[in-house]
Amino acid sequence: MVLFNGVVTATGIAFLMLSVLLISALGYALGRIEIGGVSLGTAGVFIVAILFGGLFYPTLTNTLVQSDVSYVKNALKIVENIGLIFFVTSVGFIAGPKFFSNLKVNFKSYVLLGIVIILAGGLTAIACIFIGRASGETDFKRLTAMVVGLLSGSLTSTPAFSAAKATVAPEYEDIVAVGHGIAYIFGVIGVVLFVQLMPKITKADMDEEVKKLQSVETGTAKKYNGQLILTDSFSFLPFMLAAAIGIVIGGIKIPLSAKGMSGTTFSLTSTGGCLLAALIFGHFGRIGRICLMPSEGTLKVFRELGLMLFLVGAGVAGGASFVVNFQFIYFIYGVIMTIVPMFAGYFIAKKCLKLSLLNNLGSITGGMTSTPALGTLIKVAHTEDVAAAYAATYPFALISVVLVSQFLIILF
């Protein structure tokens, strides 16, 4: 099979599949290791994927395709996107029964947190730009492109990354990508560790915190009289239908500039679209007597499988980019842009909004647009109810980070 200027080999495809499976197996083994009661969990897959990308990406490229490296990037992107779609669709179904009533109760809090977290990241980015200028950077446009890329990576935000690349001058698009890759690694790991460490630092009684979360008047899943009709034994049909509708919704582009569709646009992307569609499916739960709600077991499997595939795809590509483009000062900028928004959101949620710990941390994962951290928080809390706070904060953070990224490029 000829693709672009290269030839995809059967051996190469087998090697790619073998790599995904081995990375997953070793990652789960690493994630099981606990130090002081803290573990990487599924994020262990991300660490192994990064190491694999840094060490073996050239081997993967040479084996999979003889001369066109773009195929490898596209293949990894497919793995990443399928995983992301599975994960966020599962989260939407899980959060759906309580989402809208929860949003009604805490709407102002979620809006404020989503905006505050992103603004804190934006202000930190501005500080980094001025520090870079004071340190002798002379190409200010290049510096801004790098910092905006770092911001999107530190918040693990693909929409912000895409918007930034579309806004900068063409010669700086690669710089945005470099910054995103450098900051992305800590952007994932930092939030994963944060949601595990804060309950320990605050010496929280997790059983009590779960009761607080569940005692909030967020509504309950609807109870139906009579026997509902299942579409299939695992309820794959409504799951896949919601994901398909979500991809269509996510592909709708809203113009943000006078150039219309040829200029800068905003979209929910597959992530936001699938989340929205699944929330609606989960909220209503049925059409007549036809059940639209997948079983709990199905949702758990898709959630974990999706997270695993997402981390493999993102980690291998991120590891390759990290090794090639790493500069220590930019890595530090990225770390700061992850830490400052997290703590700003946490303290505002705690001191001003008086949110319970788990509602607070759930909102942080949404505000930081951190898919892996939500998966970790669910395991830490031993309840999937935290997904509602993530789902409620995420849309406001998503819109804010896209606008802030474009504003920084225009301003500087």
Domain ranges, ordered by start, for the chain: 2-411
Look-up of token digits 């695993």: 308
Region at 317 (left for phi over 0; alpha for psi -120 to 50; beta for the rest): alpha
CA 370/CA 364 separation, integer angstroms: 8
Q: What gap in Å lies between CA 51 and CA 45, rounded to an integer?
A: 10
**C-alpha closest to that of 116 among 407, 402, 408, 400:** 400
Tokens of 135: 């340190």
In angstroms, the CA 388 to CA 345 distance is 17
Alpha helix segments (H runs only) across 216-347: 236-250, 269-284, 296-325, 328-347
And the tokens for 120?
């804190």
pLDDT of res. 372: 78
Distance of alpha carbon 364 from alpha carbon 194, whole angstroms = 10
**What pLDDT is attached to residue 59?**
65
Among all chains, which residue has been given the structure tokens 């209503």?
284
- Asked whether the beta carbons of 42 and 191 are under 8 A apart, the reply is no
- Contact by Cβ (8 Å): 164, 152: yes
Kindly report the pTM of this predicted structure: 0.71
Strands, E, within 36-184: which ranges? 38-39
Q: pLDDT 10s per residue in the chain (412 long)?
A: 334 445 556 666 777 788 889 999 999 998 888 777 667 777 788 788 888 887 877 666 665 555 455 677 778 888 888 988 898 898 888 878 777 776 777 778 888 888 899 999 999 999 999 998 888 878 888 888 889 989 988 988 766 776 677 677 777 776 777 787 788 888 888 888 899 889 888 888 888 888 877 765 444 645 555 577 878 888 899 999 999 999 998 888 877 666 555 556 667 777 778 888 998 998 888 888 888 888 888 888 998 898 888 888 877 877 776 666 678 888 899 999 999 999 999 999 999 888 888 889 989 998 888 877 888 888 888 888 888 888 888 878 877 887 888 788 888 8
Residue 123: predicted pLDDT: 94
Q: Report the pLDDT value the prediction gives residue 127, as an integer from 0 to 100.
A: 93
Which residues are CB-contacts of 369 (< 8 A; sequence separation ≥ 6)? 155, 156, 157, 394, 397, 398, 401
Tokens of 103: 């949003």
**Rounded-to-integer distance, Cα 199 and Cα 158, Å:** 29
pLDDT score of 246: 92
Q: What would the two tokens of residue 150 be?
A: 């770092």
